[in-house]
Chains A and B, each alone.
Chain A
Amino acid sequence: MPLTVYNTELSSRLLLGTAQYPSPAIMAEAVKASAAGAVTVSLRREGARSGSGGDFWKLIQDLGVHVLPNTAGCHSVKEAITTAQMAREVFGTNWVKLEVIGHQDTLQPDVFGLVEAARILCEEGFAVFPYTTDDLVVAERLMEAGCEVLMPWCAPIGSAKGPLNSDALRAMRAHFPGTPLIVDAGLGRPSHAAMVMELGFDGVLLNTAVAKAGDPVRMAEAFANATDAGHTASKAGMLEPRDMAAPSTPLLGRALLS
């Protein structure tokens, strides 16, 4: 069953960022190779002056994939809202990946500003995809504000550390069983994507791990496969680890010596 967010079916559970690639041509190839369900694009810096990033945005629209504009680089509620409104005009979509950065070093979201901005944007009719931490209370507040999707980090943006706290991710899955949960930020390797998908997450969003790879196009493909594998595994029912060895072939007819 495909991932559905805000009444829209996505063709893939992998969402890909469009920044930091060696060239837009390679970015386009990577998006194609990953068959990404949506791409994110940042507007804050490029569009600070009257939509001057138009040529790049046109390249993004030409990809023919759902566009999820983001408010990366916004440090206040006001900046994020202005950027979201501009994104709606530029891309003709009410989707917005909401980022309100609170900490310069870790780029941790300012969760108070995030909830406030989410409330305002939801009231204005935006479909808000909030970049948040794995804090359950913040997640609840975001849902109350009108968010229908949650996007927790699993490690700081661009850190490539992979899931630092799988207990917290597990708890999040358990508390929000019916809400699409997409891990956004911190993934470094395909195995990280598989890991969070195995935890039952609905999708992953990444950028640096693909864009800065030696061969972004092949890495995009690897992440797509890993995301798929993790998702399939979570539906297939995985074994729980046990302490005692259990042979897959019974050792009938032999003496048990222990």
Chain B
Amino acid sequence: MHVLIRGAGVAGLAVAYELVQRGAAVTVADTASSLGAGASWCAGGMLAPYCERESAEEDVITLGKGAASWWDRVLPGIVNFKGTLVVAPPRNAFELKHFVARTTGYAAVSAEEIAALEPDLDGRFQAGLFFAEEAHLDPRAALEKLQVKLASKGVQFAFGPANETDHTCFDRVVDCTGMAAKTALPQLRGIRGEMLYLETPEITLSRPVRLIHPRFPVYIVPRGNGRFMVGATMIESDDEGPPSARSLVELLNAAYALHPAFAEARILELSSGVRPAFPDNLPRIVERGVTAYVNGLYRHGFLLAPALARQAAEVLYSNEEASFNEADRQRRTA
């Protein structure tokens, strides 16, 4: 089977991997000039289904809990199996109770346990939550390494605007273009996210730390070499423009609240992206003729791409419906 995959974000590359494993001849085309043009490049890379469940449906756990082992199998060494730490400033400590009302997979941790997990946070928080089963990865390194791996398995890559057209020599097309598929999938909407990279030698964290705040919940993900990704806003908007001053103030305030030494950190990068989502904020596979759309991964790209990619491959290799294709979803919600 010859398959054209449109979109070289996390969804497109994960689908490419699953198809190539099943023996397909795959070409990945993206209208950008290289990797890194879409929302995936701005991702947090947290493989944190239990934390995400706080604001999402149970499917996020069902589909996401195998993600860390998928990434670890595909790109050995890329995943950090260190869990997630959730902390709240003393004033908002009761919010921890709220946070876990909708989820599982955590243990309450004391000030001493927080210090044992993250020595640099010693004395800063009295109570927190530890999600031991969760993991994280560096999304940019993951995308780059996955591209290299796919190329070594014979996947062709075609970058640039010229690759917009001509799918006639392929048996199937998988469209993973996110918001660019809006015309075909009118229910898609964009949720703008803004994030920044900080660098400081003064703080060391081993795992993503989520700071609970009733107004500005924020996470900080260590990327190694004193670099930290701070994210991310959630704004109902498909505006791709640069981050707003207010969003930066909120993100920086949160970083400062986690550790005052972040005040002296250098800002390496400010970025924004638009996450594609369906009205229920859950992903789906939509088949239209030769094309299967894999879209709506929302804020869960790296977490849900493995499961969606497997389902997409199954859809292409059988006529059976995957559990996330459109007909099935309509039946479930009927």
Contacts and interface: CB of A to CB of B under 8 A. Distances in A.
Partners in one complex: yes
Interface stretch (A53-61, A86-94, A242-250): A53-61
B189 A55 contact: yes
A54 B282 CA distance: 20
B28 to A, nearest CB: 28
B66 to A, nearest CB: 22
A136 B190 CA distance: 43
Nearest to B54: A22
B101 A23 contact: no
A23 B236 contact: no
Query: Interface size bucket, B side?
Result: 20 to 34
Nearest to B274: A52
B277 to A, nearest CB: 8
A24 interface: yes
Given A22-B57, A28-B279, A53 B237 contact: yes
B62 interface: no
A174 interface: no
A56 B239 contact: no
B237 A158 contact: no
| Majority-rule SS of B interface residues | loop
Interface in B62-114: 98, 101-102
Contacts, number: 56
A48 interface: yes
A15 B304 CA distance: 36
Query: Interface size bucket, A side?
Result: 20 to 34
Given A22-B55, A214-B102, A56 B241 contact: no
A120 interface: no
Contacts of A56: 189, 236-237
Nearest to B298: A23
Nearest to B190: A55
Contacts of B102: 214
B57 A23 contact: yes
A45 interface: yes
Given A25-B281, A55-B236, A56-B189, 20 more contacts: A22-B55, A23-B279, A24-B280, A24-B281, A25-B279, A45-B235, A46-B235, A46-B237, A48-B244, A52-B237, A52-B238, A52-B239, A53-B237, A55-B188, A55-B189, A55-B238, A56-B237, A59-B279, A158-B214, A214-B101
Interface of B: 55-57, 98, 101-102, 188-190, 192, 214-215, 235-239, 241, 244, 246, 277, 279-282
Interface of A: 22-26, 28, 45-49, 52-56, 59, 158, 212, 214
25 contacts: A22-B57, A23-B57, A23-B277, A23-B279, A23-B281, A23-B282, A24-B189, A45-B235, A45-B246, A46-B235, A46-B236, A47-B237, A49-B239, A49-B241, A52-B192, A52-B239, A53-B235, A53-B236, A54-B238, A55-B236, A55-B238, A56-B237, A59-B279, A214-B101, A214-B102
Q: Which 3 residue pairs across A and B have the least CB separation, nearest first? A: A55-B189, A56-B236, A52-B239
